Amino acid sequence: MTDFVRAARPNDLGDVTAITGRSTGSIAFIAGGTDLIIAHENLPWPDLIIDITGIAELDFVDVTETAVQIGAATTMSTLDRHKGIRKSLPLLAQASAQVGSAQIRNRATIGGNIASAVPAGDLLPVLKCLEVRIEILRHDGRTEVLEFDDVVVGSGETSLGNGDLITGIVLPLKHGANRISAFAKIGMREVLTIARLNMAIAANYDQAANRVSDIRVVAGAVGPLPLRLPAVEAVFQGRVIDQSLADDFLNALVSEIDNAIPGRYSQSYKRRAIIGLGLDLLRDLFDREFSPALPLMEPV
């Protein structure tokens, strides 16, 4: 730890570039600061902390017919309450509403959730499911827009360099009014829950035909990165939504858990938990109840 830590509070992104461009030491950005609340005493402190809470251009939500744009300093509470997000991207509102306590949601930001890259982060599977584009201001003033997998690269790891700042995200709305989505998670407690398993689903739903298409299913907290589940998505191909499909969907989820964490201590718990998670998602997506799958054999 250094003898002291310098701090800066820029007014706009131009100030950020000016500060990072002349800095020679390690840099950390702070917005909500929720990670510091639970940090251990041996947290590695940077040479410079840049407080971005005063930058108005990082705190906004803009919903159009083709995309949702969100500033990186936008809080979880804002995302939860925003009518446009609740209508266009209900899974994002659902995930935001389940991040920690009300006090945490009032501080925690979407940019911080990405930059922390915590495997149990509730927004990470949602953003991957929604094919997010992440806007980055490099320390030298260049801007880039990258896909999720090019930014979040491991447990607590991103591709961001020293002084690089996530400035916003773009979520395309290319699927029209028939797009449905849902998010669910399971944790150890109902309050301040850190997810032991979470999942996001988005699909086009033809209600008259009772079929889905263009489905994306992403699970979180099963590994270092959110995991897209193509074998689960394939279950829905060309089929009506009924109990038979629900059975195959739940069994496919269990198989994916077995493939993702074979032999891990948590495997037995998670292969059962994902059944309940899958049932919650089906009910939310299609507004009907489905029966649970048959009792499962223990993993071999």
**pLDDT, tens digit, 9 for 90 and up, residues 13-54:** 999 999 999 888 999 998 866 665 555 555 667 899 999 998
Task: Answer yes or no: is 145 within a domain.
Answer: yes
| Residues 6+ away with beta carbon under 8 Å from 233 | 215, 216, 217
Task: Answer yes or no: is 260 within a domain.
Answer: yes
pLDDT > 70: what percent of the chain? Answer: 86
Same domain for 30 and 102: no
Same domain for 168 and 64: yes
Same domain for 278 and 243: yes
| pLDDT recorded at residue 89 | 95
Same domain for 190 and 109: no
Task: Answer yes or no: is 146 within a domain.
Answer: yes
Average pLDDT value for residue range 173-177: 79
The torsion region of residue 192 among left (phi > 0), alpha (psi -120 to 50) and beta comes to left
Domain count, the chain: 3
Whether the pLDDT of residue 193 is over 90: the answer is no
- Sign, CA dihedral 87-90-92-95, equals positive
Whether the pLDDT of residue 194 is over 80: the answer is no
- Sign, CA dihedral 237-180-204-196, equals negative
Q: Pick from 156, 172, 188: which residue ends a domain?
A: 172
Same domain for 254 and 198: yes
Threshold 0.85, pTM exceeds: yes
| Residues 6+ away with beta carbon under 8 Å from 264 | none
Q: Pick from 172, 205, 234: which residue ends a domain?
A: 172
The dihedrals phi and psi of 256, each to the nearest 5 degrees, come to -65, -40
Q: Side chain identity at 128, as an amino acid letter? A: K
Task: Answer yes or no: is 296 within a domain.
Answer: no
As a dihedral over the C-alpha atoms of residue 119, residue 200, residue 76, residue 43, rounded to 10 degrees, the angle is: 0
Same domain for 280 and 188: yes
SS3 47: coil
Higher pLDDT pick, 35 / 117: 117
Question: How many CA atoms does the CB half-sphere of 251 hold within 13 Å?
Answer: 14
Higher pLDDT pick, 271 / 214: 214
Task: Answer yes or no: is 62 within a domain.
Answer: yes
Q: How confident is the model at residue 271 (pLDDT cuts 50, 70, 90)?
A: confident
**CATH number of the domain that 230 lies in?**
3.30.390.50
pLDDT > 90: what percent of the chain? Answer: 66
Same domain for 134 and 79: yes
The torsion region of residue 183 among left (phi > 0), alpha (psi -120 to 50) and beta comes to beta
How many angstroms separate the CA atoms of 219 and 121, rounded? 11
Q: Pick from 172, 199, 222: which residue ends a domain?
A: 172
Same domain for 65 and 20: no
Least confident piece of the model among 99-113, 209-223, 238-252, 256-270: 256-270
Same domain for 241 and 142: no
Same domain for 84 and 62: yes
Same domain for 71 and 23: no
**Cα–Cα distances in angstroms (integers) from residue 235 to residues 15, 93, 97, 219, 241, in the given order:** 51, 26, 29, 16, 10
Task: Answer yes or no: is 224 within a domain.
Answer: yes
**CATH number of the domain that 157 lies in?**
3.30.465.10
Q: Where are the beta strands (DSSP E) in 118-194?
A: 133-137, 143-147, 152-154, 157-158, 165-172, 179-187
| pLDDT recorded at residue 186 | 84
Parent domain of 25 = 6-51
Alpha helices by DSSP H, 117-214? 123-129, 148-151
Average pLDDT value for residue range 173-184: 88
- Residues 272-287: tens digit of each pLDDT: 788 889 999 999 999 9
| pLDDT recorded at residue 207 | 94
Task: Answer yes or no: is 300 within a domain.
Answer: no
Whether the pLDDT of residue 267 is over 80: the answer is no
Task: Answer yes or no: is 106 within a domain.
Answer: yes
| pLDDT recorded at residue 190 | 45
Alpha helices by DSSP H, the chain? 13-22, 34-37, 76-81, 83-88, 90-97, 102-105, 110-116, 123-129, 148-151, 230-235, 243-260, 267-286
Same domain for 97 and 33: no
| pLDDT recorded at residue 115 | 94
